[in-house]
Amino acid sequence: MTVMAKPEQTGTRTLVEAPALSPTSIPKPDLISVEEAKAMDVARITDLFKAHLNPGQLHFMKLLGFHKVKIERAEGMFYIDQNGRKILDFFGGFGSLAFGHNHPRILEARRKFQEEKRQEIAIAFMSQYAAALAHNIANCSPGDLDMVFLGSSGSEAMEAAVKLAERAAGPKRPKIVYAENSFHGKTKGVLAITDGQLYRADFKVADNVVRVPFGDIDAVERLFKSNPEIGVIVLETIQGGGGIIQAPAEYWQKLRALCDRYGVLWVADEVQCGYGRSGRFYAFEHYGVVPDVTALAKSLGAGKAAVGAMIARRDVYMKAYGTPKTAMIHAMATFGGMGEACVTAIEGINVLYDEGLIDNAASTGEYLLQRLQVLKEKYPKIIKDVRGKGFMIGLEFHDFSQTLPMVLRPVVSVLDDKLKGSLSGFVGSLLLRDYDVLVAFTEYNRNVIRLEPPLICGPEHVDRFVDAFDSLLSRGIVAIVKDFVKSQVGK
């Protein structure tokens, strides 16, 4: 047997220089400061938007001429651009600006919160601000809608609403009914009940959904009768992306009765039409009915914070999450109920009532509808319909061929489908360029211009908008097209 001798220990060790665990000084990247961002010109903003945000979206902004505008500040009903031009805001951020821009009471509430260095994120503790906001929302809500979930967006609020309703309906009733031309958000869950191929693209969405025509109560009843797995129906009270579409009062009253009869939970999406926009806090209040679950967002953050909320009947909420074992299944996320966001929303709801803005939406919104109806009668070959409630109004144009002189209609009519939205775009572009007025559009019916001005909008703002719109239409369609084409030259 061979015995291996242990090597002689010399007492010396080989020393290897260890690499630095981290550099002694991390170099600062090429960053833009706040002041530098504020001072950017349009060309620099365009370069960065194209490089880092959405180059495809820039294409459409260029078509409308919106890419030429740099907003320097905003106040009340107006944006102010780099040239000091005041732009009347009848877009309102898709209904996100109930109080207009930079309402002084909202600014003051936020200033105090910051100066007193109050807590922003305090997840480990109960928040007095989240609790107070939930109380205020519950007190604004009719019936027994009193359990509140706070989030940061309409999509998040609707995700919470659909999850809660599906869970409360139970595993034996997993089917969810939604409406044609609905829009409930772009996040993965609610994409299944958002009826738009543009947004769905080729994503794999949940398959436990059933589509029904909006406003067709007989179709709803047939579904409820034939499919006992249906546990939830989700509907916008006023369809926004669909082109400002309403259902009659009897539809909602019969829907409530059908849901009660068949044990189906009704989720009312009020993200866009709620918060006073229709002339009531919730649009469904016009019809004397109350859903089982609803959702708010948009103006809930008072134009200065991202706040969304789901509001549910207590018995529905408790059925879904009412035990210690189930309470955390869908609890608030990190940024749900943030301090300053809640304070902003608390002050906003108080301003909403203190300044009578819901009443103003009803009365001044009716005045806006009346003035637009006069224009419809004045330009019957251009304006097909004017509809809406409060400050949520859709102005629909005829197909492009129908607005042209008779001799051109047969030639152009074959292109109507491809030209859908073109007249809305021409009018929206020229209203901004020539009249300093901003309007919005709708996702599904591209012939519709969407008007959602702040709830502070007064008759004088309505007059300015309608007078500008009248002046533009008086040019005639051929002149409008020529003016738009000229605006594209040299871009």
pLDDT, averaged per 10 consecutive residues of the chain (491 residues), comes to: 50 65 81 96 95 91 90 97 97 97 98 95 90 98 97 97 98 98 96 93 95 98 97 98 96 98 98 98 98 98 97 97 93 91 98 98 98 97 97 93 71 64 91 96 92 98 98 93 78 55
Q: Are 357 and 456 in contact (CB under 8 A)?
A: yes
Looking at domain 104-355, its CATH architecture is 3-Layer(aba) Sandwich (3.40)
Query: Residue 407's pLDDT is what?
Result: 67
- Which DSSP category does 428 fall into? H
Backbone angles phi, psi at 239, to 5 degrees: -75, 120
pLDDT for res 414: 57
Provide the sign of the torsion angle of the four alpha carbons 348, 354, 357, 362, taken in this order: positive
Does CATH number 1.10.3720.10 belong to domain 81-101+357-398+411-457+466-489?
Answer: no
> In this predicted structure, what is the pLDDT of residue 450?
96
- Eight-class DSSP state of 212: E
Q: What is the pTM of this model?
A: 0.91
Greatest alpha-carbon pair distance for the chain in Å reads 115
Bin 126: left if φ > 0, else alpha if -120 < ψ < 50, else beta: beta
What pLDDT, on a 0 to 100 scale, did the predictor assign at position 30?
Answer: 94
Question: Residue 398 gets which letter from DSSP?
Answer: P
> What per-residue confidence (pLDDT) applies to 64?
87
Domain ranges of the chain: 81-101+357-398+411-457+466-489, 104-355
What is the per-residue pLDDT for 408?
67
Separation between Cα atoms, residue 37 and residue 279, nearest integer Å? 39
